Amino acid sequence: MEGFTYTNLFETKGIEYIIVILFLLLLIPFWLLVTGKGTAVQHIQQGIRILASHFLRVPKGLFYSRNHTWLYLEKSGQAKIGLDDFLQNVLGEITVQPLKTAGDTVKKGEVLALIGQGEKQLRLHSPLSGEIVAFNTSDLETENSRSTELEEDWLYSIVPASWQKDTSGFLLGVDAAKWFSDEIIRLKDFLNVHLARQAGVSTALAFQEGGELVVNPLAELDAGVWNEFQNEFLEQNS
């Protein structure tokens, strides 16, 4: 064809340029993986380690108490009660000691269980009044035992005595997500104040570089901080 010139790429240096480009494309991600210093790698590491609202499980259809429990009303009329994902990600590995058993009655605000880590304990208040049907013996004793679905991590099943009255101030959907975001900010302020008071306790235990909260910030802190956390986060009127 007139005006058309065919060039064999393999007889020129063009193929060499392509090889160099491919080599660089392969070398860059390999270097990031080996050194662990690349921005992409750092973001992945931070995403795993930090406590942020968009990492929390906040399923729609659940009612959230400001005392950090959730409720779900089943078709049977029984309600499931569990710890919200904020609380689970703040504490780390815990044991649960039930104070109520099947057949017991409970009033809203009464202590249902003790949750703790060694000698450190928190009191879990009932978000409902009613009759206890069951306690979930499959427990929440380790992080690894947590279910994919938050609803499966229930502690108690209860027949509510006054569902509408007891849940009138609870949070749902977008409102709940916004509240969890505010709670994380409040937790940062709480830890900044209390860590500053404790001689010999480094903020590195609760924060990583950049000021982000690490997951399970209370796990390495003492009973005094746990007691203050109880008062600040688990004794709210709702």
Instruction: Kindly list the distances between the CA atom of residue 64 and the CA atoms of 126, 135, 156, 157, 218, in Å, as whole numbers in the listed order.
Output: 12, 19, 15, 16, 22
* pLDDT surpassing 70 at residue 41: no
Identify the pLDDT of residue 13: 57
* pLDDT surpassing 50 at residue 218: yes
| Per-residue pLDDT tens over the stretch 53-97 | 667 888 888 999 999 999 999 999 999 999 999 999 899 889 999
| Per-residue pLDDT tens over the stretch 165-185 | 999 999 999 999 999 999 999
Q: Which runs of E-coded beta strand occur in the chain? A: 63-64, 69-73, 79-83, 95-98, 105-106, 111-117, 120-125, 130-135, 154-160
The average confidence (pLDDT) of the chain is 79
pTM over 0.75: no
Residue 135 DSSP code? E
- Buried/exposed 88-124: b ≥16 CB within 10 Å, e otherwise: bbbbeebebebebeeebebebbeebbebbbeebbbbb
Domains of the chain (ranges; CATH) run 9-49 (no CATH), 51-238 (2.40.50.100)
